[in-house]
Structure 1
């Protein structure tokens, strides 16, 4: 008999569905039943392909990071540090309140209410967020070298600040804040980055 044999499935499509479950419910809140139903597979297929629930989360995060990576490349391609901050934070305000997706950010929501059995999950999520901060830091270092940022500007601190604002916006969105509220926060943060710029406005 081959009833228990894990069946083949479209891994990327399944991961897209798993992403949404983790996004909506967090790691702890997402059950195997919810995940397998959304992915259209049975538990043996999940365990055979991903090892366990944490392995599935990491694969879903890899998928999310890949999809988000193209957007971050567009963000850091903006011509000035101010434009980078605006493109990122206004984009987040729009994306995280898009009714087509769960509210907030997977890299924030995924770690909600993680218990003692999943200590590595918050660190995994933090590592993914750090990748975005690293991209911002490198871009702001270049902006300073090009004379776009003041000599007194600290690229690492600016990157950390913009990253922290983005996380806060994710928390706001998941708590029900609307697009206008997030765009107001983004606007203030963009002004803070602009204050470190040499450009005349």
Structure 2
């Protein structure tokens, strides 16, 4: 159990905080929250457990900082920038999502970092659910350039589900080509139901 401990204000830190957060982010991306122990973190960062608790309060505290760092990285939403059609927006969104999950770490902290957790992780699980919902909302805003908002909401929910599935498949060893084939099938589906997607998503 990862119990929060009081922060310590005395004594110099003997490690680079920014580097520590980057190291933790890579571990959490690769193995998920529950797949990384405090011992794993301290060994990788090169500090003793008391120093980790003094700096971050708890493993969950370090995870939150690593999650903020991960969220600031280029991601799926960046792929929608400058799109001129709905097709370009979907291609860009899923292409950027693929780029994010086929890196060495092969993981998405938002999609797969902590999907379900015990009672001790309830708050962190809730925060991640809120981040996923926020991401879905941002995707819908982007799609609203071509669709009305209800249609954009439906398509964003579908695309986020595809992204989450890609993240899991990448963790299981799927290659870039495998994931690009999924992207192609998604575009075929949208085209088959209405060309630009409007016939499929404009009305229930």
TM-score by length of 2: 0.79
Runs of at least 5 residues in structure 2 that lack an aligned partner in the other structure: 1-9, 199-204
Change (3 A) 1:162 1:26: same
| Cα deviation, residue 86, structure 1 | 0.6
RMSD between aligned residues: 2.5
Q: Deviations over 1:148-182 (max 9, x none)?
A: xxx9x811101111111000111111112222221
Please, which of 61, 71, 75 is the counterpart of residue 67 of structure 2? 61
Q: Which residue of 1 aligns with 2:106?
A: 103
Q: Which runs of 4+ in 1 moved over 4 A?
A: none
Contact preservation (8 Å) 1:141, 1:155: yes
- State the secondary structure of the residue aligned to 2:28: helix
Higher helix share: 1
Q: Which residue of 2 aligns with 1:177?
A: 174
Work out the CA distance in 2 between the residues paired with 1:7 and 1:89.
Answer: 41
Contact preservation (8 Å) 1:36, 1:43: yes
TM-score by length of 1: 0.80
Work out the CA distance in 1 between the residues paired with 2:119 and 2:102.
Answer: 31
Runs of at least 5 residues in structure 1 that lack an aligned partner in the other structure: 146-150
Q: Which residue of 2 aligns with 1:7?
A: 13
Q: Which residue of 1 aligns with 2:3?
A: none
Work out the CA distance in 2 between the residues paired with 1:7 and 1:189.
Answer: 49
Change (3 A) 1:73 1:119: same
Q: Deviations over 1:39-62 (max 9, x none)?
A: 233322221221111111111111
Work out the CA distance in 1 between the residues paired with 2:44 and 2:116.
Answer: 21
Work out the CA distance in 2 between the residues paired with 1:93 and 1:126.
Answer: 21
Work out the CA distance in 2 between the residues paired with 1:178 and 1:49.
Answer: 37
Say if 2:47 is the partner of 1:41: yes
Moved more, 186-195 or 43-52: 186-195
| Cα deviation, residue 186, structure 1 | 1.1
The correspondence of residues 18-167 of structure 1 with structure 2, limited to 5 A, is: 18-68=24-74, 72-98=77-103, 101-111=104-114, 114-144=117-147, 154-167=151-164
